[in-house]
Chain A
Amino acid sequence: MTSSTIEQLRGRAEADARTSGCYLIPDKELLQAFLEGLQTNEQRYGYPSCPCRLASGLLEYDRDIMCPCDYRDPDVAEYGSCYCRLYVNKEVFEGKKELPSVPERRPLEKQARAFQAASMPREQGSKAEAAADEASSEKPEDLVKIGPKMWYCKQCGYVVFREDPPYVCPVCKAKREFFAEIKTKVEFSG
């Protein structure tokens, strides 16, 4: 797996901040440290999971904490920065407000689930992935039930295939309440 350079990670984060109306932490040293953490995680897991959270190493269970994480937008809106504080709002960026301390929004079940998935022997781990891939298949008893669903934004029509709808529509910025599930039915015959 080729990993991104710090500059590529910085570019990606800057572009993402611009399109989502937030800013990167103004302190250059801290920013560098965050980018290095993301780079380490990308090299380690194959995706840049949040440097301030413990990843399971299984994409299906870490999807919500891939930077920018699912919780960034509501946290920036409510507290002025995301959980790890890489992304901040305008006030914090301009130094009008101190860096806030942000409580963990990621549900405990998801943290525990990732833990559980990561501590399973490898063989079962791949079973977990298979279970995640095939939502309709029968799951091993305790295994984390991850069934990606389809959601659409009632405002702009954006469609996403994930476990939960996003907090904010990445296209039109509609809130989570604007997302509705698309129910699909698969029938086999013959």
Chain B
Amino acid sequence: MNISKVDGKNTKHKVFVYALSTCVWCKMTKQFLRDSSVAFEYVDVDLCSEEDKEKIRKNIKDLGGSLSYPTTIIDDKKIVMGFRKDLLKEALEL
């Protein structure tokens, strides 16, 4: 799986974003995290192999999320669906 890593000063939380390369709100989420200097990892699901997509689907479902993008997973447990600045700020204590 092609996981991209973005460095940032804020490493308080482990942040992982499931995104689509074509999705505007996924881009905004990534940009928001960059602008807030949050270190995070992301994967563009539409560019993954079918095998990886299946793994991702299971992972998101196991965490209780639905299959919408962006899905931001914080510390392997908290899920923020969509580009929600308010929820991201709250979860990341920004």
A contacts, CB < 8 Å to B: 30, 33-34, 36-38, 40-41, 51-55, 84-85, 101, 104, 108, 111-112, 115, 118-119
Q: How far is the CA of A16 from the CA of B23 in the complex (A)?
A: 21
Q: How many residues of B contact A (CB 8 A)?
A: 21
A119 and B24 form a contact (CB under 8 A): no
Whole-angstrom CA separation of A83 from B54 in the bound complex: 23
Query: A33-B27, A104-B68 are contacts. A52–B50 as well, Cβ < 8 Å?
Result: no
Interchain CA distance A33-B23 in the complex, whole Å:
8
Q: How far is the CB of B77 from chain A (nearest CB, A)?
A: 22
**Known pairs A101-B82, A101-B84, A115-B67; A51 contacts B24 (CB<8 A):** yes
Q: State in angstroms the CA–CA spacing of A53 and B23 once bound together.
A: 8
Once the chains bind, are A53 and B69 in contact (CB under 8 Å)?
Answer: yes
Please state if A84 and B67 are interface contacts (CB–CB under 8 Å): no
Beyond contacts A84-B25, A115-B57, A119-B53: 17 other A-B pairs, Cβ-Cβ < 8 A, are A33-B24, A37-B23, A38-B22, A40-B21, A40-B22, A51-B23, A52-B69, A53-B68, A53-B69, A55-B46, A85-B25, A101-B84, A108-B67, A111-B67, A112-B67, A118-B50, A119-B54
Measured CB to CB, the residues of B under 8 A from A are 20-27, 45-46, 50-51, 53-54, 57, 66-69, 82, 84
How far does the alpha carbon of A101 sit from the alpha carbon of B25 in the complex, in Å?
Answer: 11
Q: Contact partner of B20 among A38, A51, A115, CB < 8 A?
A: A51
Give Cα distance in the complex from A45 to B84, angstroms. Answer: 29
Identify the closest chain A residue to B50 (Cβ). A119
Q: What distance in Å separates the Cβ of B76 from its nearest Cβ neighbour in chain A?
A: 22
A-B contact pairs, 23 of them (CB 8 A): A33-B27, A37-B23, A38-B22, A40-B22, A41-B22, A51-B23, A51-B24, A52-B24, A52-B25, A52-B26, A53-B68, A53-B69, A54-B45, A54-B69, A55-B46, A85-B24, A85-B25, A108-B66, A108-B67, A112-B67, A118-B50, A119-B50, A119-B53
Question: Given the complex, which residues of B lie within 8 Å of A84, measured CB to CB?
Answer: 23-25
- Which of chain A's residues has its CB closest to B25's CB? A52
Most buried by B among A38, A40, A54, A111: A54
Contacts of B82 in A (CB 8 A): 101
